[in-house]
Structure 1
Amino acid sequence: MPGIEQRLIDLGIVLPQPLRLPDGMRLPFPWVNVRGDRAYLSGHGPQEADGSAAGPHGPVGGTVTIEQAQLSARKVALSMLGNLQRELGSLDRVTGWCRVHGMINCVPGFTQTPAVMNGFTDLIIDVFGAEIGRHARTAVGVCGLPMDFPVEIEAEVMIAL
């Protein structure tokens, strides 16, 4: 079976460069924290291929549509994969996605947070397959996120030592 990097090529997926933080922003934590056979991924927002923060910005159900938010969730998955690859050396070391916690910046009363998170889940399963890619998931609505992102996601994955 071909490796994950080959699967990315086959799918036409390019992972983004490291996030370029806005001037004055400091993040005193790692994007990926490896502990034994687990990698904990800090909350990630959507990125463009060049490492810049990706729009649109704002709440889902307000200035951002569900479809735009699903694309943002997909871009979050790409951001996570880029950081995992840089930290682990190869995405083939990922042996299972355990849990994913999604926060959706949304207007009051918005209840379609699971639909937004499908943009993330669909990409992870496309890349890793159902067995490795399946994960427990939470999708909660919040009243705001850093950089006014529509989506922020954190995760836990199992890795080969």
Structure 2
Amino acid sequence: MSGAAAGTVEARLAELGLTLPEVVPPLATYQPAVRSGVYVYTSGQLPMVGGKLPCTGKVGAEVTPEEAKDLARICALNALAAVKSVVGDLDRIARVVKVVGFIASAADFTGQPAVLNGASELLGEVLGVKGVHARSAVGVAVLPLDAPVEVEIQVELVQD
């Protein structure tokens, strides 16, 4: 992975055939992202596309691990949109510090890390070395709206 040069994050998204979506409106009383000092913390991002979930259910039952990995990519893209809504320019990202993924899992499903690779790989493709991060992949019983995956990220900004 190479580092993203200044002014290129959204150009890189375009090269990958991706468009930064509008920020997903909150489902309850919270903000999609909050800045604290040089850090931006996103709320959990669902894989919403055009205001809807592409599919629902548990990974390992109604949703395949491959489908869930693609959904995790969408979550990461939505998280980048939430970061941009707070800082105005994704080129201000110094690095992704942490990614946490929640995977609604069938009782016998243990492939949560492979599902979350969808988000991790997208961040690497878009941000290069700035996208390398610590992370946790957690299996859960159910997520809001019966979403299969939810992802939150923490980014450090270039100091002003």
How many pairs are equivalent?
A: 154
Which residue of 5, 9, 15 corresponds with 1:10? 15
State the match for 1:43 in structure 2: 44
- CA distance, structure 1, for counterparts of residue 25 and residue 130 of structure 2: 30
> What letter corresponds to residue 154 of structure 1 in structure 2?
E
Secondary structure, counterpart of 1:43 in structure 2: coil
State the match for 1:113 in structure 2: 112
Contact 1:104 1:113 in 2 (8 A): yes
Task: Spell out, residue by residue over 1:29-59, the C-alpha distance to the aligned partner (whole angstroms, 9 max, x if none).
Answer: 11111000000111110021x3x13221000
Alignment of 1:116-155 (within 5 A): 116-129=115-128, 131-155=129-153
Secondary structure, counterpart of 1:58 in structure 2: coil
Secondary structure, counterpart of 2:31 in structure 1: coil
- CA distance, structure 2, for counterparts of residue 81 and residue 16 of structure 1: 9
Task: Spell out, residue by residue over 1:85-129, the C-alpha distance to the aligned partner (whole angstroms, 9 max, x if none).
Answer: 122111001111111111100111210000100110110000000
TM-score, normalised via structure 2 length: 0.91
- CA distance, structure 2, for counterparts of residue 132 and residue 62 of structure 1: 34
* Cα-Cα RMSD: 1.3
Q: Which runs of 5+ in 1 are unaligned?
A: none
Secondary structure, counterpart of 1:59 in structure 2: coil
Deviation at 1:19, TM superposition (A): 2.0
Secondary structure, counterpart of 1:98 in structure 2: strand
Secondary structure, counterpart of 2:44 in structure 1: strand
| Identical amino acids, percent of aligned pairs | 37
Deviation at 1:3, TM superposition (A): 1.4
